[in-house]
Chains A and B, each alone.
Chain A
Amino acid sequence: MPPPQPNPSPANAPAPAGISRRSFLRNSALFASGLAALAASLEPLRHLNEFPTVDQFLQKYYKELTPEEMAKVLKRIEDEVEHDYGLRPHVRDLKPMNGVEYVYALNLTRCIGCRKCVHACVGENNQSRNPEVQYIRVVRLPHGSLDLEKAEHNYNPEQVPEAGYFYMPVQCQQCRNPPCVKVCPVHATWQEKDGITVIDYNWCIGCRYCAAACPFWARHFNWTKPSIPKERLNPNMAYLGNRPRKQGVMEKCHFCIQRTRAGRYPACVEVCPVGARKFGNILDPESEVSYILRTKRVFIQLKEELGTSPRFYYYFDV
């Protein structure tokens, strides 16, 4: 080791290149390890095989899309779904109807807790099968109270209904004053004029603020790319509805927008074997939900003390 000098390199390096063997080796070793470190830090990108295409990346916000642009986007989504799942879907962009506001009514006297609605919903809305994403959560409560601390989600008896219990399915309550919409930093979710709170899956950044804000546990996050077997894929799709989601976006019940905006009942209503689920247009005085809200003991909007004012009403008849 030479003694310390204020400026060692000119004195120790007579060669015109100004670089010694030692410093060359040292620097190249440092450079190589730096490259290795960079490669290691980028290693997870190896598993990322689905980069967004330019069209996907540059797609505009839902509310800013012109009809022509929307048609192109729908065509592109059909291509993507066909590529990913091997089935050509029919994707539509259904707009809210005039003079329609959807309301849901659920008869707690009738519900037997069979969970058929959960699986009809999964099938209709192309939810991931593994890991499971389920919009409807059926909880079992002991008779005589509505204390949700006593709610059991994982009940698993041989047969339902069980003596001493009643069942309460909970899903997105389509609040009139939705906290999930307030917290969204990018306006990827909003309330439509027919009362359905929708999500633009292409605009969602996956921050999950809405899941934290929702008092009903109604919002679900796609931690992985949804796995849907081809034979269970529902090809009747809507842009704001049941088209397969991407990894990293939120989803939730949208009252089966692909069905209800075409005039049909949601899948959970159609499958309910005991007729506990009722759905319709509250602005139509002849509809069954109007009749129910007029004549039945509609006793709660779930957690009404929070002031979110759900469009989902629970009632008892008897």
Chain B
Amino acid sequence: MNNAEKTNAVLLVLAAVFVVLALKFATGYGATAPKLVRIPLVETQFLDTATFRKSYAELIRTKADLSDFDCYTCHTKGTPPTLRFDAQQNLIIPKEHEDIVMHHGSHGRNNNCFNCHNELNLELLQTRDGHEVKLAESPRLCGSCHGPTYRDWEAGAHGRTGGYWDRAAGPIKRQICVDCHDPHHPKIPPRTPAPGPHLLHPAANSEARVLKAEGSPKPEARSRPSGDAQENQVPLGAAKWSLSGPAAPELRLSAFGLPSDFRFRISGFTFRPPAC
């Protein structure tokens, strides 16, 4: 073969390769399109900006039904209602008020209705030093014991804020204590969290499920995945890159000459603080 023929042969082989590649790309043969994990839209309850509960002041503002606050349909005016206590000095809550859970303070001693309610006029509240406070102005009563919190609240540092930060542009929206706290049980109850980020990494997803089934794990077990459940899902020296579920290809790091104990931390939050 002379040089010209060699050149032609090489060109023909190259041309054949290009034709095959062109056919492959055009038909998409052998290609796996990355599939996106189906992510449902977040439920609208998590977008709600409403407060945990509605205070008396809020009920007045929204012109809601106030019959619950009509004490004297049952009680007699001028006669303080009697309180009953059991042997451990716990308040017995009468059936008419069974929706009330008394737990104001973890010590359990703040269980006298008339610490806050005025026994001679049930439609009023009273501070411990005898000042009468209207139901709709309850923060003053709360502040009579919770001074530092009250001070923070007045400065805007405690409690929710909304509306306008720029007073020139519009009003700020503030809530009062009982918009969020139940006065009889002020600790804010735990709630369901909104869904976390949906992972593209199925091993981490299943790990999260495993850990959830086991209950509350030790923090170390989650953040340092060595010798625990995740070990079985991600083989040492292998990182799973996947967009499409369990059938995803596996990339073996040893093929790139990396040591077999090399590990990726793909999921999670891996800030690395500077060496101390």
Residues of A within 8 A of B (CB): 1, 4, 26, 29-30, 33-34, 36-37, 39-40, 43, 97, 112-116, 118-120, 122-123, 129-132, 134, 137, 139, 141-142, 147-165, 215, 217, 229, 232, 260, 262-265, 269-275, 278-281, 287-288, 291-292, 295-296, 303, 305, 317
Contacts and interface: CB of A to CB of B under 8 A. Distances in A.
B15 A29 contact: yes
Contact of B197 (A134, A265, A281): A134
B204 A154 contact: yes
Given A115-B195, A265-B165, A272-B160, A148 B269 contact: yes
A115 B162 contact: no
B152 interface: yes
B22 A152 contact: no
B197 A157 contact: no
Nearest to B151: A295
Nearest to A26: B8
Contact of B190 (A43, A112, A131, A141): A112
Given A115-B46, A115-B194, A160-B190, A273 B273 contact: no
Cβ-closest 9 pairs across A and B: A263-B169, A288-B156, A263-B166, A40-B22, A37-B18, A33-B15, A148-B271, A115-B194, A159-B190
B237 to A, nearest CB: 22
Contacts of B262: none
B192 interface: yes
Interface stretch (B56-64, B97-105, B122-130, B216-224): B216-224
B273 to A, nearest CB: 6
Given A116-B46, A229-B41, A151 B161 contact: no
A263 B25 contact: no
Nearest to A113: B193
A224 to B, nearest CB: 8
Contacts of A273: 51-52, 160, 180, 191
A150 B223 contact: yes
A114 B194 contact: yes
Contact of A278 (B8, B156, B216): B156
B272 interface: yes
Contacts of A275: 158-161, 175, 180
B192 A37 contact: no
B22 A154 contact: no
Nearest to B172: A265
Contact of B36 (A37, A130, A150, A280): A130
B94 interface: no
A288 B51 contact: no
Nearest to B3: A4
B11 interface: yes
A293 B148 CA distance: 16
- Central interface residue in B155, B159, B164, B165, by most chain A CB within 10 Å: B165
Interface in B231-276: 267-274
A46 B57 CA distance: 62
Nearest to A278: B157
A96 to B, nearest CB: 13
Contact of A119 (B42, B163, B191, B220): B42
Given A159-B191, A271-B47, A273-B51, A37 B268 contact: no
B51 A291 contact: no
B148 to A, nearest CB: 8
A40 B269 contact: no
Nearest to A114: B193
B8 to A, nearest CB: 7
A250 to B, nearest CB: 18
Given A148-B271, A264-B170, A142 B162 contact: no
A192 B166 CA distance: 18
B74 interface: no
A160 B16 CA distance: 63
Contact of B191 (A114, A132, A141, A149): A114
Contacts of A131: 36, 39, 200
A173 to B, nearest CB: 13
A153 to B, nearest CB: 4
A137 B196 CA distance: 9
A156 B198 CA distance: 11
Contact of A142 (B160, B168, B193, B219): B219
A151 B269 contact: yes
